[in-house]
Amino acid sequence: MSLLLYSFFALIGLLLLLFAWSVRSPKRPARRSSSVGAVGECEHKHVTYLPQIRQTFSKADYEFLSKNAPPGVLRRVHRERRRVALAYLEALRDDFQSLLQMARVIAVLSPELEAVHEFERLRLTAKFTCQYQMIRWKLLGGAAPVPQLSGLSDFVSGLSVRMEAAMKELGERAAVAAALASSMNRRGLDAG
């Protein structure tokens, strides 16, 4: 049997894997039920805690502690920072999932889709998932140090500005969101 014929077996194996993956029940975040409104709420929650997040990653704090605190305290701080970093990652993922859910509802209820936007979203999702899992496993395994504010402060500030803008935009789109939520409910009734 030629080598190329073996590719049929490989292809069938791949199809079976993809099939098994796609028929399983979708694992979505618990916040899913309030998906459309959740984006704004979530960002609003993050804005409230931004000063604390910023403080957690403060480089000056860490340097001060490394000079003055005993090693036990320093280790504990390091652990706590890792925990905060993981929680922050989780929050980013929740934001991403909420946006994806919103995009999904809009796509399902739209009479026309543009393949470019759909494939772009697929690419972004794949990229985000890979990066998220990589960072998460590194942090969980202790293989990667928790980032310092020098790196994070800029983007946390940037995020704050973007979130304010997003909140404003979402306020303007409240009517659209309400219409979407209502359509989603109708869809849910159908699914039941």
CB contact at 8 A, 105 and 183:
yes
CA atoms in the 13 A half-sphere facing the CB of 39: 22
CB contact at 8 A, 13 and 80:
no
Residue 2: enclosing H or E segment and its boundaries?
Answer: none
CB contact at 8 A, 177 and 38:
no
How far is 74 from 87, CA to CA, in rounded Å? Answer: 20
C-beta of 51 vs 145, nearer to other proteins: 145
